[in-house]
Each structure stands twice: as C-alpha cells, then as structure tokens.
C-alpha cells in the first residue's frame, strides 16, 4: 500500500487553531553550476504540472515566455478514477502512462527519488529524465531558476522577467504575494476555524486593495514591463472568479469588480504564453458532475460561458505605460 497522500489530502497541514500551514517543499536543490546544484542541460528535464494548480501553472507560462519548450519537455497530470488513491495521474496520455517516463502516477516519481517521502506528491515537479526521479518541486524559486540559471537556453530576444536591478524588490514582493494572495486563497478555503478564515480573508482583500491601488498608476506591478511577480499574480487571478470563489464564502469582490486588476489580468491574457497555459473552461468544469438545486454559477454554465470573449474585452492598460508598444524588457 502506498504511503503517499492524495494530492488534495491536506488534513495534516491544519494546525491546532484551524490554520492551514502548507507543507514545505522537499526537493529544493537549486539549478546551476557546482557540485551541490542540478546541472542545466537541454533535454534533461521534464516539467510536470496541472491545469488547476497555479503553483505549477506559473512555471509552464514562464517556460513558454522564455522559449524553453525544446530545452524542457512538459506533461500534464489530473485527477483520475483509479482505484489506487495515489494523487495526480497522467490522465491525458494514452493508457494513462507518461510516454517519456513510463509511469501512471506522479507519486511513482517521488517514490523513485526518495522511498521515505511521506508528503503529498505536488506539482510543479521537475523530473530528471535520465533517472526518472523528481529532483525539484520548489515552486517558490522554480520560475526564478528558469529565468536566471537557464538563461543560456533562452530563445533569442527572450524577455527579462527577473532584472538584476529589481531582484531584491521582486523577491520581497513575491513573498508578499505568496503569503497574502497565492497561498492566501488556500488559507481561507482550507481554514477549519472561523478565526483562521477571517484572518486569511482580511489579509487577502487588504492585499487586493493594495494591488488595485498600485495598478492604478502602473501598467504592471513593476512599471512598464512584465516581471516574475506578474506571472505569480495572474495565475491566482485567473482562478478566482472561475473556481476559488465557490469555496471562499461571502466574497467581498470578484476580480471583475476591481477596475485596475481586471484590466491588468486581461492585458496579460492577450499574450500567447499566458493564454495557452490558462484553461478557464476546464477549471469551471471541474465540478460539472454535481447535481441538485444549489450548484454554483460556473458549475451550471461552464459550457455556455464565453471565456475567450469575456477575457478579450478591450482595456486601456497601455495608457499607463511610457512604452505602450512593448510589454517586456528584452534580455541583452
């Protein structure tokens, strides 16, 4: 019997006050040069992610933005109907088997890496194809590794999402986003006490208010050009009205109710790497097998909502930029 928890088994991540405390990442060896780091080699790694998981979604977006499609292969996992409750499965592949790694469950790759690992097998997971083992699941820093350590493999003219002169500020802002927004929605959704829920809810909307004000004078979070924090914020915004809201209780505002945030999200969605890796309809459909009277809006109408039309409405975000024709700072 596998000792791995299912991908949604978070019961052991609730403390005695009812707060959700996310499990720490286990495979955190960084990429780079040196004996203690993972070597950067084209074709060696495979990125495993899931449509509904924003932690992994941001890595898939950055991979495409930087032109790393040939350097790092990719595959999707989802929730299957297997009698074995082992979490994420390769449900989109023929016979449910990853064609490169030859496994059915993501947990098999975690088990190959460490037979004593007892946490949830999470995405993103970077797998070393040469060994069939997970070597990194550190979503906190993964996009930064792709932006910095994999620079030699970037496409010509790749955007600079992690400018050296802004890195200290970006790291600080990413930390703010993590605690209050990215993980903030989960802290509210998984809270097991009203105290924990109210704390997470208040911090989430306080953060949204601050972001709304920031975007009132700036096209993107750090000025005229898209940087790493924009990717991290976008993936939460894309899921908020589509999926998260149904578990958040009496929400104060939807994303579409924030003038600046909603225009900003649509501005980002215009970019192919964002659009190609954002499965709005799939996220809305996730509970479509439910029946009864009290079913949320998206679950009832997921196949009738025109997400492309909704997310493609005009915006005036370019007027907040001194370089309106460009969305990216180019690497030199």
Task: Specify the DSSP class assigned to residue 257.
Answer: G
Q: Note the pLDDT tens digit of each residue in 234-289.
A: 999 999 999 998 888 888 999 999 999 999 999 999 999 999 999 999 998 876 66
- pLDDT one-digit tens code per residue, 275-310: 999 999 999 887 666 666 678 888 888 889 999 999
Catalytic entry in 145, 186, 244, 307: 186
List b or e across 183-205, with b for residues whose CB sees 16 or more CB atoms inside 10 angstroms. Answer: bbbbbbbbbeeeebbebbbebbb
Active-site residue, from 45, 53, 201, 243: 53
| Whether residue 18 is found in the same domain as residue 138 | yes
Note whether residue 329 is domain-resident: no
Domain count, the chain: 2
Q: Is residue 53 part of a domain?
A: yes
CA distances from residue 142 to 60, 85, 178 in whole angstroms, order as listed: 10, 27, 14
Task: Assess whether 294 and 172 both reside in one domain.
Answer: yes
Cα 257 to Cα 254: distance, rounded to the nearest angstrom: 5
Asked, for residue 42, whether it belongs to a domain, the answer is: yes
Q: Are residues 174 and 308 in the same domain?
A: yes
pLDDT at 14 (0 to 100): 81
- Asked if residue 2 belongs to a domain, the reply is no
Write down which residue in 153, 183, 213 finishes a domain. Answer: 153
Residue 15 is part of a domain; what is its CATH number? 3.40.30.10
Quote the CA–CA distance of 281 and 302 in Å, as a whole number: 6
With a cut of 60, say whether residue 49 has pLDDT above it.
yes
Taking each helix axis from N to C end, the angle separating 139-148 and 228-240, rounded to the nearest 10 degrees, works out to 140
Number of helical (H) and strand (E) elements in the chain, helices listed first? 12, 4
Residue 5 lies in a domain: no
Out of 103, 122, 153, a domain closes at: 153
Residue 113 has pLDDT above 90, yes or no: yes
DSSP letter at 179?
I
Whichever domain contains 264, its CATH number is 1.20.1050.10
- On whether both 187 and 285 belong to a single domain, the answer is yes
Model confidence band, residue 129 (pLDDT cutoffs 50, 70, 90): very high
Q: Which of 153, 182, 204 is the last residue of a domain?
A: 153
Q: Is residue 159 part of a domain?
A: no
Whether residue 221 lies inside any domain: the answer is: yes
239 and 298 assigned to the same domain = yes
Residue 309, H or E segment: helix 307-311
Annotated active-site residue 247? The verdict is no
Closest CA to 192 of 19, 13, 8: 19
**Structural domain of 95:** 11-153
Residue 29 predicted with pLDDT over 50: yes
Are 190 and 222 part of one and the same domain? Answer: yes
Structure confidence at residue 207 (pLDDT): 98
Please check whether residues 134 and 17 belong to one and the same domain.
yes
pLDDT of residue 288: 61
Same domain, residue pair 170 and 315: yes
Burial of 155 (0-12, 13-18, 19+ CB in 10 A): middle
Q: Are residues 146 and 102 in the same domain?
A: yes
- Sheet with 72-77: strands ordered across: 72-77, 45-50, 125-128, 133-136
Residues 128 and 262 in one domain: no
Whether residues 89 and 134 share a domain: the answer is: yes
**Residue 86 lies inside a defined structural domain of this protein:** yes
Same domain, 169 and 311: yes
Q: Residue 253 and residue 265: Cα distance in Å, rounded?
A: 15
Residue 53 catalytic?
A: yes
């Amino acid at each position: 019997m596998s000792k791995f928890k299912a991908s949604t088994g978070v019961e052991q991540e609730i403390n005695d006050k009812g707060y959700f405390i996310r499990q720490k990442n286990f495979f955190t060896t960084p990429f780079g040069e040196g004996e203690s780091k993972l070597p950067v080699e084209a074709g060696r790694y495979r990125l495993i992610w899931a449509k509904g998981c924003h932690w992994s979604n941001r890595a898939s977006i950055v991979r495409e933005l930087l032109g790393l499609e040939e350097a790092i292969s990719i595959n999707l996992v989802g929730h299957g109907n297997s009698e074995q409750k082992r979490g994420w499965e390769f449900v989109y592949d023929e016979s449910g088997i990853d064609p490169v790694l030859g496994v059915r469950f993501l947990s098999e790759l975690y088990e190959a890496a460490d037979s004593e690992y007892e946490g949830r097998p999470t995405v993103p997971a970077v797998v070393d194809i040469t060994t069939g083992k997970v070597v990194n699941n550190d979503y906190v820093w993964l996009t930064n590794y792709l932006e910095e350590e994999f620079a030699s493999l970037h496409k010509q003219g790749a955007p600079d999402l992690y400018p050296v002169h802004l890195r200290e500020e970006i790291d600080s802002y990413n930390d703010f986003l993590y605690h209050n927004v990215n993980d903030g929605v989960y802290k509210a959704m998984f809270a097991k006490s009203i105290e924990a829920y109210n704390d997470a809810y208040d911090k989430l909307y306080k953060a949204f208010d601050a972001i709304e004000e920031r975007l009132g004078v700036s096209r993107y979070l750090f000025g005229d050009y898209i940087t790493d924090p924009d990717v991290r914020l976008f993936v939460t915004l894309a899921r908020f009205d589509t999926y998260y809201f149904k578990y958040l209780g009496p929400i104060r505002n939807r994303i579409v109710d924030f003038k600046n945030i909603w225009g900003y999200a649509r501005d980002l969605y215009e970019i192919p790497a964002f659009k190609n890796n954002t499965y709005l309809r799939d996220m809305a459909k996730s509970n479509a097998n439910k029946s009864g009277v009290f079913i949320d809006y998206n679950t009832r109408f997921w196949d009738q909502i025109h997400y492309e039309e909704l997310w493609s409405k005009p915006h005036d975000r370019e007027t907040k930029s001194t370089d309106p024709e460009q969305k990216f700072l180019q690497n030199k």
